[in-house]
Chains A and B, each alone.
Chain A
Amino acid sequence: MMRHLISAADLTRDEAVRILDTAEEMARVADRPIKKLPALRGRTVCNLFFEDSTRTRISFEAAEKRLSADVINFAAKGSSVSKGESLKDTAQTLEAMGVDAVVIRHGASGAPYRLATSGWIDAPVINAGDGTHQHPTQALLDAFTMRRRLVGRDAGIGQDLAGRRITIVGDVLHSRVARSNVDLLHTLGAEVTLVAPPTLVPVGVETWPCEVSYDLDSTLAKSDAIMMLRVQRERMNAAFFPTEREYSRRYGLDGDRMAKMPGHAIVMHPGPMVRGMEITAEVADSDRCTVIEQVANGVSIRMAVLYLLLGGNESDAPNPRTEEK
């Protein structure tokens, strides 16, 4: 297992499947009366959030607490960062306090990589979203949700997503979720198609391991999963499409479009959803929509990642079952 989790592209197929399998076991803990494991007892994990994200922070915090870790939450707002302290100084402060792992969310693409490779801090770094770059645990929880729904909960153990066709729809340009998912789904053997207005397709997308289409309707019938993205208005500095109504008409998912999908196909959304624009209430509330499952699966995936990065002190497991009885 690797030392940090910075990008979904860094994971090999075996590493990714191992995380998904571990998460499957972690998910069972949620069904128990005592939802806690002692694996990270005495370890301190810092959630370093330079950008607001209640959903991701709570998910990580729940995962850390279920593994019995001590949790420090650091929000940049109101901290010394707003007084001008640098990432380096913050990192060295955490190092001095003996933090065992750092979960970082930052508005600047590459901040987690910098933190992991600069030598400022010795602890494993987990990227919880950086700029428009990566959000690997989101990609993992999406893959986990797909494997559960498309392959099966028990049948999925040890399996990847070979041959599954996934369509990712919407604001690809501003989406770290799309980037992470394309990388991970490709590693897991799935065929990915991006569907977006031409203005919301990033430059250089031809080098990504996926197809690109501008027509949602032509991809519906052959998709095993459709992943809707949020239109990130806060990151938009220009007019990328004429009107919301126009976007919704061409790229929104409604009941008619859902009816054209295969019977087993699922609808995903990383949240928060903008109902009426990206997705209609009818689709969002249907059985095929996995938004709530994705939230629950997020905790299991983050538990798995934290356990695998922090559970032991060496990088390679020779044989997990050769132990002193």
Chain B
Amino acid sequence: MDTQHSPDAARPVLEAPDIARALTRIAHEIVERAKGADDVVLLGIPTRGVHLAHRLADKLEGITGQKMAVGSLDTTMYRDDLRLKPARTLARTEIPADGVDGRLVVLVDDVLFSGRTIRAALDALGDIGRPRAVQLAVLVDRGHRELPIRADYVGKNIPTSLREAVRVQLAEEDGRDTVLLGLKDTAPAGEQ
């Protein structure tokens, strides 16, 4: 089906090369701000944040020549809407063997929206250890924050209306790299 001509259809706002460039830039910014990446731990937030964290780690290894510590941090149990929705399936939490104590943790997610996932991630992180500092890297910041949270590294700011939905697709999960913007009513499952 050709969706390009339908006015309601999701349109791509970032394509594969844009995503790759954004991640390269974020990787350089991390090295710049951390003055190297010696004590950096990248923690992806499932599902797509984990893939992005691994891609960022590859790029950081390319820049610094060091092996990066990568993990995933599931925020499900710490969500403030846990009781309002059906029980969610838990995703993986994997903390690198050296832990996060005293290190710079960079949380990685695909979309930053209300900020509630990041709040939950900060709570989850508190139960795992005490990082030296926590930073946030996101591929897309679509605005509409409900909490005083902002990202340190942003792939692209995409001003949206609340009627719209942002959908990030990554090769590891969806077979291709793209960021789609469409209307919420017509959005398939998985959009945010």
Contact = CB atoms under 8 A, between A and B. Distances in A.
Contacts of B190: 319, 321-322
Classify chain B: how many residues form its interface, as a range.
Answer: 35 or more
A323 B192 contact: yes
Interface in B139-184: none
B89 A22 contact: yes
A36 B127 contact: yes
13 contacts: A25-B90, A25-B92, A33-B129, A36-B127, A37-B77, A38-B78, A39-B82, A307-B77, A311-B82, A311-B83, A311-B88, A321-B190, A324-B81
B143 to A, nearest CB: 11
A264 interface: no
Tell me the interface secondary structure of chain A in the complex. loop
B112 A311 contact: no
A312 B85 contact: yes
B90 A325 contact: no
Tell me the interface secondary structure of chain B in the complex. loop
A82 interface: no
A28 B117 CA distance: 21
Interface of A: 1, 18, 21-22, 25-26, 28, 32-34, 36-39, 307-325
B109 A325 contact: yes
Contact of B85 (A28, A309, A314): A314
Most buried by A among B79, B86, B115, B192: B86
Given A34-B127, A38-B123, A325 B112 contact: yes
Interface in B41-57: 46-47
A32 B82 CA distance: 22
Contacts of B46: 321
B67 to A, nearest CB: 21
Contacts of A325: 109, 111-117, 192
B129 A318 contact: no
